[in-house]
Each structure stands twice: as C-alpha cells, then as structure tokens.
Amino acid sequence: MATTATVLLINPFRVFEGQEEAFLALWEATGAIFSRSDGYVHARLCRAMSRQPPGQHPPYTHVNIAEWRSLDAYSDALRQPALAPFISRYRAVSTYEPGVYEVIREI
C-alpha cells in the first residue's frame, strides 16, 4: 500500500575532490529556484559520513532527496529557464544520477 501521494526525487552525487563548497553553493541556488515552484514540498541534502559501519562503502558523496506533490509538478519545475545555466556548473563539480520514486512502504 502506498503511504503518500507525493513523489520523491532522489539524486545521488559524486562531488569531485575539492569541489564541495562550489557544489553546496549550486545546491543552495537551485534549491531557491525549486522552492518557489508549484508543487515543491521540501528537500534535504545528505552527505556520506567518513566513518561507516564495517562493510559499508557509500558509492556517492551526497544525496539530494526532494519531495514534490506530483511528477508533473517536478517536471514543470525542471523546465524553468533559470535552471539551464546550472546544468554545466553541476557537471563541472560532480556526477549525478537523478530519479523520481514513489513511496510504497513505511515502517
């Protein structure tokens, strides 16, 4: 049973060494644009901890988790012209693999 009607953008990043400050500035700037979009709920940026339990090796340095009211709302937000210049800037400091997910279970 689905627990929520919202969708989650989960975007894992591999931030290049020495580029975290530039990456964080980009995340803040794009977050300001997205946060004014219809259907935006909230976003969180997580950073992999340097100390991990035995056997765990996170493949990404950072993960953005953003909640949207719908896939259409997120898709519409992506079409904002103000976001276009940020794509090349993100590529200069990181690699990323975004995807939209639905929550199907909670414990």
* Residue pLDDT, tens place only, 33-48: 999 999 999 999 999 9
Classify residue 48 as exposed, middle or buried by CB count within 10 Å of its CB (0-12, 13-18, 19+): middle
46, containing H or E segment: strand 40-47
Instruction: Give CA–CA dist 9/70, Å, rounded.
Output: 10
Which neighbouring-strand residues pair with 102?
7
Query: Is the pTM of the predicted complex or chain greater than 0.85?
Result: yes
Span 51-102, pLDDT tens digits: 999 999 999 999 999 999 999 999 999 999 999 999 999 999 999 999 999 9
* pLDDT value for 1: 47
3-class SS of residue 62: strand
Residue among 82, 94, 93 nearest 11 (CA): 94
